[in-house]
Amino acid sequence: MRRGLAATLLLALPVAGLLAGAGTWVRLPGGSFRTALKYEDVKGASRIAPFELMRRPVTNAEFLAFVEQHPQWRRDRVAGVFAEARYLAHWPGPAKLGGKALPAQPVVQVSWFAAQAYCEAQGARLPTWLEWEYAAAADETRRDARKDPAWRERILAWYSRPSNTALPRAGLQAPNAYGVQDLHGLVWEWTEDFSSLLVDADNRNQGDADNAKFCGAGALSMDDRDNYAVLMRVAMLSSLDAEDTTINLGFRCARDLK
């Protein structure tokens, strides 16, 4: 009963109100940051330029507005090279929300190509992995909480939850130290350079991306091998192709400061 009432209330929210969040950006100062990934050509910390990141992931309502303005990204019109057959398959219609795709939920089952096209339409882009990892290293009070075992366990607890449960509304979580929400505990997220995170071809799998098998050798690409939460996310992204979609993968956009 409560779940049905909540769904009804979400559907009743004005679409205009949901779209207002599309322009909500958080400025991140950048600076020196040491990634958990290990690259032969990167020694020590990397320098991240200041940038802006969407406060929360893109919602179904926001992506629907994009599809209406750019009909080539409707699921019944998109070219197969840009999106596989499951692209937006949970929407009740090519340009219709409801049921398993409520307006305020984060949009999922979108390909990298579609996510990048959405961001470009906003004058933005997908964040790089380094930018995303930098933002996601923060908890509610610290800019870098990665060494805290309790923080890691909280993230891993989300990974252990079934992926077939209904997604909450985007923007419910408390902001982290930068003011960004939902980086953990809601959906996985595309990054601009997802395909270059692990370069070993053995780490890329064919078949069902929702059940991607993570190669244990991926741990060799980790500088901090105790950070299993980061390894899981990197392995998942590295198992995908740009046209793939999954039921728990969404995105948010980033943009350079002018």
**Three-state DSSP class for 67?**
helix
The H-or-E segment that residue 132 falls in is: helix 129-136
Q: What is the pLDDT of residues 95-146, one digit of tens each?
A: 999 999 999 999 999 999 999 999 999 999 999 999 999 999 999 999 999 9
Least confident of 89-93, 176-180, 206-210: 206-210
Does residue 190 contact residue 126 with C-beta atoms inside 8 Å? yes
The 3-state DSSP class for residue 10 equals helix
Q: At residue 212, does pLDDT exceed 90? A: no
Pairwise CA distance, residues 252 & 119, whole Å:
8
More confidently predicted of 224 and 256: 256
- DSSP 3-state of 244: coil
So what's the pLDDT on residue 10? 36
Task: Decide if pLDDT at 181 tops 60.
Answer: yes
Q: Which of 45, 34, 42 is nearest to 224 (CA)?
A: 34
Over residues 195-200, the mean pLDDT reads 65
Read off the amino acid at residue 174.
A
pTM: 0.82
